[in-house]
């Protein structure tokens, strides 16, 4: 489907344009729409563009819209990264819309980061809308941070709307 140096080893998969993109052999029904140096190694998964975005082993039904250096970790199914730079998702049914250096940590299912920079979620059914340096800590489930800077939440069913250096 065009481009240069793209590789497709997965069954029922394809790439349309771009350069040096790869869909690996353990991927079926997967797609790369363009960009450069993107990789897909999950079934029914895809990325539309950007650079050096990766959907890793066994991350089925996952999607990266674009951006740079975004990653959906191994065995993180049904995940989403809209774009941004350096964002990571490592939990099922979780996603980040954008921003920079935001992370949903290991085993954090059903979790969300809207955007911002350097925000983190470690807990199930938890999320932060934005801000900078905000963290839901210690596997805190059902927790929320609206925004702010350097806000930390620890404990189940915990939350803060925003602020600075709250914990």
* Residues 112-149: tens digit of each pLDDT: 999 999 999 999 999 999 999 999 998 899 999 999 99
pLDDT tens, 68-110?
999 999 999 999 999 999 999 999 999 999 999 999 999 899 9
Task: Tell me what the mean pLDDT of segment 21-27 comes to.
Answer: 95
| HEC profile of 43-104 | CCCEECCCECCEECCCCCCCEECCCECCEECCCCCCCEECCCECCEECCCCCEECCCECCEE
Confidence band of 1 (pLDDT split at 50, 70, 90): low
CA 160 to chain centre: 23
**Of residues 21, 56, 60, the one with CA closest to residue 41:** 56
135 - beta bridge partners?
Answer: 120, 152
């Amino acid at each position: 489907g065009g481009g240069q140096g793209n590789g497709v080893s997965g069954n029922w998969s394809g790439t349309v344009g771009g350069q040096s993109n790869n869909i690996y052999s353990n991927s079926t029904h997967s797609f790369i729409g363009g960009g450069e140096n993107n990789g897909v190694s999950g079934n029914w998964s895809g990325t539309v563009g950007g650079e050096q975005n990766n959907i890793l082993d066994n991350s089925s039904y996952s999607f990266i819209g674009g951006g740079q250096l975004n990653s959906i970790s191994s065995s993180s199914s049904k995940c989403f990264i809209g774009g941004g730079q350096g964002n990571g998702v490592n939990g099922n049914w979780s996603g980040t819309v954008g921003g920079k250096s935001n992370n949903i940590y290991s085993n954090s299912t059903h979790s969300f980061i809207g955007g911002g920079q350097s925000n983190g979620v470690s807990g199930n059914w938890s999320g932060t809308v934005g801000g900078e340096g905000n963290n839901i800590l210690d596997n805190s489930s059902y927790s929320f941070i609206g925004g702010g800077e350097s806000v930390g939440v620890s404990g189940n069913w915990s939350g803060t709307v925003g602020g600075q250096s709250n914990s």
